[in-house]
C-alpha cells in the first residue's frame, strides 16, 4: 500500500512510499482509509517534541482517520465489511478512566497511524462515523471534537446558561464553541486576529477578545462576566499563561488543560489556585463510549465540523506546514477516492 512514513524527526524526513498492507488480528478490523485530519500532536511527533523516546522509526503517522471496513477479525461481531468507522486515539480505552499504560496503544505513535491507504483498528474502540457527515468531516472528530466534548460535558458537567472560554481558533476550540453554543452556554473566544473572532461570532460565540490588543485578556474576561470569571476554560496554550487562565475562571471553576502551545512547563502561582479553589484537570481525549455520546449530540444538533482546507494525499507535507502556520478549525488530508 502507499503510505507516508517518518524515517527520522523533521518534516523533510516524512516520505511517501510503500509499506506492507496490514492484516487484522482476531480483535481488529482493516479499513480502507478515506480521510485523515491533523492535530497539534501530529506535528509535535514529526518535530520530535512529543515523547520522542516512544516513537518507532519508520512510523506511519496521524491518529485521526475515517474509512470503510474491508476485513474483519474472526472474533469481531459488532462490525462488518462496508461499515464506515472512525479511529479512536487511545485504541484500548473504551470506558471509565484510562489505564496507566494507555499511551502505549495510541495510533499515530507508537502504533501505526492512518496516513496510508489501509489501517488496522482495535474493533472494540472503533466508532461508527456519523451518517450525515462527509468523510472529510468525520475525520476531524477523534481528537479535536472528542476532547472538547469530554472537557466540557464529562469533566466540567456544563449546564445551559453557564459560560465557557476557548483559546484560539484551532480544532478543539472551534468544536468547543459549536458544542457549547448548541448546549445553551455563553462562549467567549480569544484570538490574535479580529477576523477570526468575527468568524467565531458567526458560529454563535457571545464575545471575542483579541489578546494582542488586550495582553491582560483575563481582565477583559472579568469585565465581561461582572468580575466573576467564566465557569469553564479550555486551555490549549499552556506555559505560564495558565496563571491568566486561573484569574479568568470563577471561584471554584473548572480549567481543562488540553495543550501546550507555549510550553510544556508552567510556573504557577499556587496561592491563586488555592484561594480561588480552581479545579485544573489534564484532558487527554476520552474513552470511545464518550465518542458515541458525542456523535449522538452532533447528529441531534446538526453540527458540522469547520474545515480550513482539504489537501490531497500527495500534499501531506503542505498540510503539516499549514498546521504550523495555524488554521481556523481543521486541516484534512483526503486519502481514498
* pLDDT tens, residue by residue, 14-47: 999 999 999 999 999 999 999 999 999 999 999 9
**Those residues with Cβ within 8 angstroms of residue 108's Cβ, 6 or more apart along the chain or in another chain:** 41, 42, 45, 59, 60, 61, 62, 63, 64, 89, 114
The CATH number for 145-282, chosen from 3.20.20.140, 3.40.1260.10, 3.40.50.720, 1.10.300.10, is: 3.40.50.720
Q: Which fold has domain 2-140+307-334?
A: Quinone Oxidoreductase; Chain A, domain 1 (3.90.180)
Confidence class of residue 263 from pLDDT cuts 50, 70 and 90? confident
For 272-320, the pLDDT digits (tens) are 999 999 999 999 999 999 999 999 999 999 999 999 999 999 999 999 9
Quick check: pTM over 0.75?
Answer: yes
Q: Which stretches within the chain are classed as H helix?
A: 40-47, 135-138, 146-149, 171-183, 194-202, 217-224, 242-248, 270-276, 288-300, 316-325
Share of the chain above pLDDT 70, in %: 100
For 174-200, the pLDDT digits (tens) are 999 999 999 999 999 999 999 999 999
* pLDDT over 80 at 201, yes or no: yes
Whether residue 335 contacts residue 315, with contact meaning beta carbons closer than 8 Å, is answered with: no
* pLDDT over 70 at 73, yes or no: yes
What is the pLDDT, as a whole number, of residue 51? 87
Where in the chain are the domains?
Answer: 2-140+307-334, 145-282
* pLDDT over 90 at 264, yes or no: no
Amino acid at each position: 500500500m502507499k503510505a507516508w512514513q517518518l524515517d527520522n524527526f523533521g518534516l523533510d524526513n516524512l516520505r511517501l512510499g510503500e509499506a506492507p498492507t496490514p492484516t487484522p488480528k482476531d480483535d481488529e478490523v482493516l479499513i480502507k482509509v478515506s480521510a485523515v485530519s491533523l492535530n497539534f500532536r501530529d506535528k509535535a511527533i514529526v518535530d520530535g517534541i512529543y515523547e520522542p523516546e516512544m516513537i518507532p522509526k519508520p512510523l506511519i503517522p496521524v491518529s485521526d482517520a475515517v474509512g470503510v471496513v474491508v476485513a474483519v477479525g474472526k472474533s469481531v461481531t459488532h462490525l462488518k465489511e462496508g461499515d464506515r468507522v472512525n479511529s479512536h486515539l487511545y485504541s484500548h480505552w473504551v470506558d471509565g478512566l484510562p489505564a496507566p499504560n494507555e499511551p502505549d496503544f495510541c495510533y499515530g505513535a507508537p502504533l501505526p497511524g492512518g496516513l496510508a491507504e489501509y489501517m488496522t483498528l482495535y474493533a472494540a474502540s472503533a466508532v461508527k462515523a456519523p451518517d450525515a457527515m462527509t468523510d472529510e468531516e468525520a475525520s476531524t472528530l477523534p481528537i479535536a471534537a472528542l476532547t472538547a466534548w469530554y472537557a466540557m460535558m464529562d469533566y466540567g458537567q456544563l449546564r445551559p446558561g453557564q459560560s465557557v472560554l476557548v483559546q484560539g481558533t484551532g480544532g478543539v476550540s472551534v468544536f468547543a464553541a459549536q458544542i457549547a453554543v448548541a448546549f445553551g452556554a455563553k462562549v467567549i473566544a480569544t484570538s490574535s486576529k479580529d477576523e477570526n473572532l468575527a468568524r467565531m461570532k458567526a458560529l454563535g460565540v457571545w464575545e471575542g477578545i483579541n489578546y494582542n490588543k488586550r495582553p491582560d485578556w483575563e481582565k477583559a474576561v472579568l469585565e465581561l462576566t461582572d468580575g466573576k470569571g467564566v465557569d469553564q476554560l479550555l486551555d490549549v496554550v499552556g506555559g505560564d499563561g495558565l496563571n491568566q487562565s486561573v484569574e479568568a475562571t470563577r471561584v471554584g471553576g473548572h480549567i481543562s488543560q488540553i495543550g501546550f502551545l507555549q510550553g510544556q512547563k508552567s510556573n504557577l502561582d499556587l496561592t491563586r489556585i488555592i484561594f480561588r479553589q480552581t479545579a485544573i484537570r489534564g484532558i487527554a481525549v476520552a474513552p470511545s463510549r464518550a465518542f458515541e455520546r458525542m456523535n449522538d449530540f452532533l447528529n441531534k444538533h446538526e453540527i458540522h465540523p469547520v474545515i480550513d482546507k482539504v489537501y490531497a494525499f500527495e500534499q501531506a507535507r503542505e498540510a503539516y506546514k499549514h498546521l504550523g502556520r495555524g488554521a481556523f478549525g481543521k486541516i484534512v488530508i483526503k486519502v481514498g477516492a
